[in-house]
Structure 1
């Protein structure tokens, strides 16, 4: 990525400004990510259990990473369930085809 392809984007996390270089076509994603992170950080700060910007940021990052891992596992479980279901449908169709008396195995 050359400097011509990037731009500086400012974001605010707990009322503190940060500037980042990002690809010109990734600004919207960066801003959306910053909004989500800021929301998580505000929730943690409101709880009053974690003090300091760095500790709040780390806690928010850990919470988001945990949510991402749970989401991936859920997606994997869903795919496995759908594959088993499709496998069962294929088995049922093959069994029905074999029972119908078709002895021609040519494709």
Structure 2
């Protein structure tokens, strides 16, 4: 259940709860949709892969696209405000890391 300071999300079929202030929830949901889409895209290119591998490959792909946009290459993400994007990505990575750690701790 999503609460004012937490957001329940689903990535690659797994549910996570992330700490997130209400004013950032819409942006985080957009980021989750982007990451989930990339994970599905990676998984659709070959044999069945683990969640961890799909997450890593999606992260590398998204980072590559971000670096291309920073280097001025022509890509769909070239108009991204890179400093703001980096700040948001760093914050999201911290939230996802915390959620994964919480999920792993709950398993053990």
The answer to whether TM tops 0.5 is: yes
- Give the aligned CA root-mean-square deviation in angstroms: 1.9
- Length-normalised TM-score, structure 2: 0.60
Q: Which moved more, 1:42-51 or 1:27-36?
A: 42-51
Q: Distance in 1 between matches of 2:47 and 2:21?
A: 36
Q: Which runs of 5+ in 1 are unaligned?
A: 1-5, 79-107
Deviations 1:70-94 (A, max 9, x none): 011117xx9xxxxxxxxxxxxxxxx
Rg larger in 1 or in 2? 1
- Length-normalised TM-score, structure 1: 0.61
Tell me if the contact between 1:50 and 1:56 (Cα under 8 Å) persists in the aligned partners: no
Q: Which moved more, 1:46-55 or 1:19-28?
A: 46-55
SS in 2 for 1:51: coil
Q: Distance in 1 between matches of 2:57 and 2:48?
A: 8
How many residues are matched?
A: 71
Q: Which runs of 5+ in 2 are unaligned?
A: 79-108
Q: Which residue of 2 aligns with 1:43?
A: 41
Q: Distance in 1 between matches of 2:48 and 2:58?
A: 10
Deviations 1:20-67 (A, max 9, x none): 001221001100000000000000111115611001100100100010
Q: Which has the higher helix share?
A: 1
SS in 1 for 2:49: coil
Q: Distance in 2 between matches of 1:74 and 1:30?
A: 26
